[in-house]
Amino acid sequence: MLATLIIGLREGLEAALIVGMIAAFLRRNGSSLKPMWLGVGAAVLISAGIGIVLELLAAALPQQQQEAMETLIGAAAVAIVTLMILWMSKNARSMKSALETHAGAALKAGSVFALAGMAFLAVLREGIETAVFMVAAFQSSLSPVSAGTGAVLGLVIASGIGLLLFRGAIKINLTRFFAVTGAFLVFVAAGLVMKSLRTAHEAGWLNIGQDATLSLARLAPNGSARAAILTGVFGIPNDPRLVEVLGWALYLLPMLAFVLWPRTWRPSVGSLPRFQFAAAGSFGVAALTLAICAPLALAPAPSPLASTPVLTASGQPAGTIRVTVAKAKSGIELSMNPVEGPSSTFALTGHGTESHAGRTAEVFTAEAVQGETADPEKVSSADLAGLNGGRMPVGISAQQNPGPFDADWNHKGKLTVWLVNGVVLDAVNDAAATLTLRGGGLAASRTIAVAAVGQWHVPEDLVSASAKELTAHESAVSEISLWSVYLPIVIFISALFLLRLGRKSHRRARQRDMQT
């Protein structure tokens, strides 16, 4: 509620000041205020419509696309509030004279539409900024009702202050007001940076820097007032990831310094280019240092095992398996070396990817997998008891049906292998069979299910160990990429931006010197 209240108050007051300045100028010139109010009303309606459409569009999308939409809205909100703070710092003093100049030109032209259009565009800019920022704040809020109440209160208070300022009933130090609210909005925008980085990961766009940093659960337990302030107002989750903390700090610190830096400490017009060039050089050196000195050593990736042990359904060693790439690029070949009997080779076909054991793995399957040994055409009573778990099937007696029996086998089930970067994460043969018996004293044919014929699986502890090893390696890779590649790129882009500002300031200083 507090975040949306401040947003509504600041943005609403900016719009109210613009409207008040235009209204005061028109009143001094004895002109009607109706065209201005027409432009203001149209801008308010369009801004509200944009906010509603963005919220409805995000709500109608599937989950992953919702996260992507929230990322884009959050990034737009951060960009808008940043430009708003920079623009207000640069143009606050000249805003009144600029508005009066445009209003005077519209009056001289005698165009009602020009005057309405000026008010429309002036308020529309503030309205769109407010709509996008409000939508982003609503998505980060713990309570939409509370957030909406704060927004309405902020806009109402801003309208009241604007009216009182217009009538001269109160005076307010606008410079201090915008400095204080600007500093607060910097914290809110920094929280939106964290939120956008979180939703970007959930949308599948950002996978680097996802290591946990610290837990704020003790400092701000869920449901507490501190959690409402930390998460609901400032947008800081209680389990921030590394990339989120870096994004928060890289945005917050320079923007907060810009807003709160005393004017008396700011460099003069003549020294500003040198200051900007020095800052650009420092950022460039920092980027180069990170790129060179960031840890590049990395443990080798987990390599495919020469053979992976597998167990029977009862937990006994069944043999080992080995996976090789098949001649057909869409599949693999699996060699099974049982404890007893000859080896077998199976051709498996790829079926895309799926989540398995906490990992995204390639899936390969083969249907109707046979047992590792040839199926016998004759089955004795002892063999039948062994296939049925040590006892004769119900309805078959060793005395009345001594065997041997003619056997027809029908295999079902499939063999499935999950691979991650060529490493066997898991494999299972869930094959089963039905056995049709004839002769051996049976009056009629009998069909029975054979328990665990050829079934085997990779031990669970080996699957868990492989998943942890793969995850640890990928986490290390992403962390090194973050520190040695992505973060230096961000700092280097900042250096180029400062260099460009320095060149512009230098040209302006030279032009000013030539004019004087």
Tell me the HSE value of 330 on the side-chain side, using a 13 A CA sphere.
6
pLDDT for 102 beyond 70? no
Per-residue pLDDT band at 489 (split at 50, 70, 90):
very high
- Name which of 31-40, 57-66, 73-82, 223-232 the model is least confident about: 223-232
The one-letter amino acid at 448: I
pLDDT for 328 beyond 70? no
Alpha-carbon gap, residue 393 to 314, rounded angstroms? 20
More confident residue, 78 or 13: 78
Residue 148 has what pLDDT? 74
pLDDT for 295 beyond 60? yes
The full set of domain ranges for the chain reads 2-266, 308-473
pLDDT for 136 beyond 60? yes
Nearest Cα to Cα of residue 177 among 10, 11, 16, 21: 10
pLDDT, mean of residues 414-435: 86
pLDDT > 90 in the chain, percent: 11
Buried b (16+ CB within 10 A) or exposed e, 224-236: eeebbebbbbbbb
Mean pLDDT of the chain: 79
pLDDT for 106 beyond 70? no
Ramachandran sector of residue 341 (left: φ over 0; alpha: ψ -120 to 50; beta: rest): left
Residue 277 has what pLDDT? 92
How confident is the model over 30-54, as pLDDT tens digits? 767 777 788 888 888 888 888 888 7
Residue 459 has what pLDDT? 92
Residue 372 has what pLDDT? 47
pLDDT for 18 beyond 90? no
The DSSP-derived string for 358-404 is TEEEEEEEEESPPPSSPPPSEE-HHHHHHHTTSSPPTT--TTT----
How confident is the model over 441-488, as pLDDT tens digits? 888 888 887 755 568 889 999 999 988 888 888 888 888 888 888 889
pTM: 0.65
- Name which of 28-37, 42-51, 205-214, 395-404 the model is least confident about: 28-37
8 within 8 A of 152, measured Cβ to Cβ? yes
- Name which of 341-350, 355-364, 386-395, 501-510 the model is least confident about: 386-395
pLDDT, mean of residues 275-304: 82
pLDDT, mean of residues 240-261: 89
pLDDT, mean of residues 194-198: 90
Owner of token pair 């030539």? 514
Per-residue pLDDT band at 77 (split at 50, 70, 90):
confident
Write 384-390 long-range contacts (CB < 8 A, 24+): 384/437, 387/435, 387/450, 387/451, 387/453, 388/448, 388/450, 388/451, 389/451
For residue 410, give every residue at least 6 positions away whose Cβ sits within 8 Å of its Cβ, in sequence order, or none: 433, 434, 435, 436
pLDDT, mean of residues 425-437: 84
Q: In what order do the strands lie in the sheet with 378-379?
A: 378-379, 405-412, 432-438, 446-450
Per-residue pLDDT band at 247 (split at 50, 70, 90):
very high
Alpha-carbon gap, residue 185 to 183, rounded angstroms? 5
The one-letter amino acid at 478: S
Residue 287 has what pLDDT? 92
Residue 259 has what pLDDT? 84
For residue 297, give every residue at least 6 positions away whose Cβ sits within 8 Å of its Cβ, in sequence order, or none: none
Peptide bond into 404 cis (omega under 30): yes
More confident residue, 360 or 12: 360
